Amino acid sequence: QTPAAVSTLTSLMSTVRAINLVLPETEVYLASSIIDGQLVLNLRSTLVDPVVKVELVGRGYLRWLEEENPEWDYEKTTACTNQVVYVSKTQNFHIKDGWLDSGVHTFDFHFTFPPNIPSTFASKIGCISYFVQGTCCSSQVVLAKEERCLLLQGTAADRRRHTKDTAPLVVEVRKDVVYFCCFRRGFVTLRISLEKSIFCPGDTIVFMTDIANRTCKYVRKVIFALHCIVLYRGFSRKGEPRYLEDQSEVTRLESRTDTAPFEAMRVTSALVLPKPMPITSTLTENKIMAFRYELVGTSDLPCTTSTIVVRVPIIIAA
């Protein structure tokens, strides 16, 4: 660039004193809802032929590394990636007479979220994110920009798919135990009961756990956790489809039980679901990620290396 061009560019960029996005105090937006806001532009001097716009963008992206061919003698990894755009809308503001005077200018905008978009989500492998971005340009030069992230709760799902899952749910697991120090055998049974298996983000999951301890040791505690299991669909650099399943812990609760030998106990517990969170879905619905959930109860049996685990499928709908 020539000195004259650099001077003109510096003068243009110094024209904008500040740019701000003013959004409603909404913690979580719902799919199909409307977002109303303002773009506030503060100029030091007159700006000629400006382009002022606000964009609403939502997109998903994932990436992981895997071994290209396990049969090779050397290690070579390939990146599996995928991405999708869930929403991309732009509102350009009409500038009367083609110029803006110095001072503060306010531009109102509104967008409607599509009805069938997934919730905000982030993991070490992939993310689904939404944001609004305000931009002021002149002569194809970006003079100022501000971006604000949004939390969105998806609501799309095939409700007919879950109509059979409204009945109470009971899952029981028995674990046999052998104590070689005293040559005794026994078992522990965990039974988790729920009045329903379908919940919404923000709900409280209330469940009962029956512990039958038929050993000579105390069962001290049970750890409950809600696991989110995600199936990712990506592509190798050769365009071949790849799949990876990964899970993360959404919320957990540690419950002291101290169930005595040859005794039984019932514990009532509750886990509060966060908001937003992805709803139970398929790859067809979310394109690059599928979500399912399990309520998992785990107890380490004392004086042994044994662990008893109960897995209860939970459906998150909205």
- One fold for 16-153 and 169-316: yes
CB 112 within 8 A of CB 29: no
Which region, left, alpha or beta, applies to residue 32 given φ > 0 means left and ψ of -120 to 50 means alpha? left
Res 36 pLDDT > 60: yes
List pLDDT tens digits, range 91-145: 999 998 899 999 999 999 999 999 999 999 999 999 999 999 999 998 888 999 9
Whether omega for the bond prior to residue 261 falls within 30 degrees of 0, making it cis, is no
Higher-pLDDT residue of 46 and 184 is: 46
Q: Which CATH class is domain 169-316?
A: mainly beta
> Mean pLDDT score of the chain, rounded to an integer?
89
Give just the sign of the alpha carbon dihedral 290, 296, 300, 305. negative
At 268, the pLDDT band (50, 70, 90 cuts) reads very high
| Residue-level length of the chain | 318
Mapped onto helix, strand or coil, the DSSP state of residue 276 is coil
Amino acid letter, 209: T
For residues 10-24, give the mean pLDDT: 82
Q: How far apart are CA 258 and CA 211, in angstroms?
A: 10
Please give the CATH number for the structural domain made up of 16-153: 2.60.40.640
For residues 57-64, give the mean pLDDT: 97
Res 70 pLDDT > 90: no
Domain boundaries, the chain: 16-153, 169-316
At 160, the pLDDT band (50, 70, 90 cuts) reads low
The predicted structure's pLDDT at residue 157 = 65
At 189, the pLDDT band (50, 70, 90 cuts) reads very high
